[in-house]
Structure 1
Amino acid sequence: MKFEYHRILVAVDGSEASEHAFLKAVDICKRNHAKMILSHIVDTRTFTTLEAYDHSLADRAEGYGNTLLKEYEQKAIDAGVGYVETLIDYGSPKVKIPKDVAVQCNADLIICGATGLNAVERFLIGSVSESITRYAKCDVLVVRGS
């Protein structure tokens, strides 16, 4: 029996771990002839308090996310992935990726890095990858760095 993935959601945040996850996702997408959905979640919780002092913070976070997704999209196309889609959303990555984005995209695999950009949150309340693994309704591949 042959099993293939068709819709692979790749969570990226600009960290080294998400770069490793992306590279693994490229290989898996090509091998399975799968659609790659690149997703970045603008973590609104990290800047809501600071927004009172710097009103451009939300705009800069969104700009960073859009730039990041465009760069990854181009890398995937250049690497030979047949179909690439990007998706930006807002909220907590721990909740949005497994409960909203994966469901919305009908993903059959989520690929993410083992550690991301927010070390303080990981220390206090657990990692995003752990939360994705716990709440996703589909398979999850957590990629460790080299």
Structure 2
Amino acid sequence: MEYNDIVVAVDGSEASEKAFSKSLDIVNRNNARLILAHVVDSRTFATAEAYDRTLAERSENHAKELLDSYVDNAKTAGVENIVKCIEYGSPKIKIAKDIAGDFGADLIICGATGMNAVERFLIGSVSESITRYATCDVLVIR
């Protein structure tokens, strides 16, 4: 099977770094489009923003810088067809349903664990949710 459009969910965590590294080989082997996806979990700062109005802006700037660094690394690895995608909301829903659907992805690659250990403990991991709701193949990197 050949993959054409590969979404890689990145959040800056060690697990997403591993997923990104693995994705470079897969993208190059398949001559696929690399869709770097980062979801700013707006639920985490909705209440805090009442006290600090710059939180959303800083989160967006961080997301842009994060994706730019991944783009640079991908280009160094020989990937040419790269798309950056920043969304807002719940990563559990956005990655599997919205981003993968919008780009017609046939593979989603994500790390086994992300940045938010408390949420994972309380309501399950993002990677678990992606595998449950995605309509395409999902590769979870340990």
**Common fold: TM-score over 0.5:** yes
Question: What is the number of equivalent residue pairs in this alignment?
Answer: 142
Tell me how far apart the structure 2 counterparts of residues 95 and 19 of structure 1 sit (CA, whole Å): 21
Gaps of 5+ in 2: none
2:53 is matched with: 55
Q: 2:7 aligns with which of 6, 9, 32?
A: 9
Tell me how far apart the structure 2 counterparts of residues 142 and 45 of structure 1 sit (CA, whole Å): 24
Tell me how far apart the structure 2 counterparts of residues 14 and 47 of structure 1 sit (CA, whole Å): 18
Look up the SS of the partner of 1:39 in the other structure: strand
1:69 partner letter = L
* Further displaced range: 79-88 or 126-135: 79-88
1:13 partner letter = D
1:116 is matched with: 114
1:42 is matched with: 40
| Shift, 1:82, TM fit | 2.4
2:136 partner letter = C
Alignment RMSD, CA only?
0.5
Look up the SS of the partner of 1:8 in the other structure: strand
| Shift, 1:31, TM fit | 0.6
| Shift, 1:98, TM fit | 0.5
Please tell me whether residue 95 in structure 1 is matched to residue 93 in structure 2.
yes
Q: 2:75 aligns with which of 74, 77, 89?
A: 77
Identity fraction in percent: 64
Question: Please, what TM-score do these two structures have when normalized by structure 1?
Answer: 0.96
Tell me how far apart the structure 1 counterparts of residues 14 and 36 of structure 2 sit (CA, whole Å): 16
Question: Please, what TM-score do these two structures have when normalized by structure 2?
Answer: 0.99
- Structure 1: which 4+ aligned runs deviate by more than 6 Å? none
| Shift, 1:65, TM fit | 0.5
Gaps of 5+ in 1: none
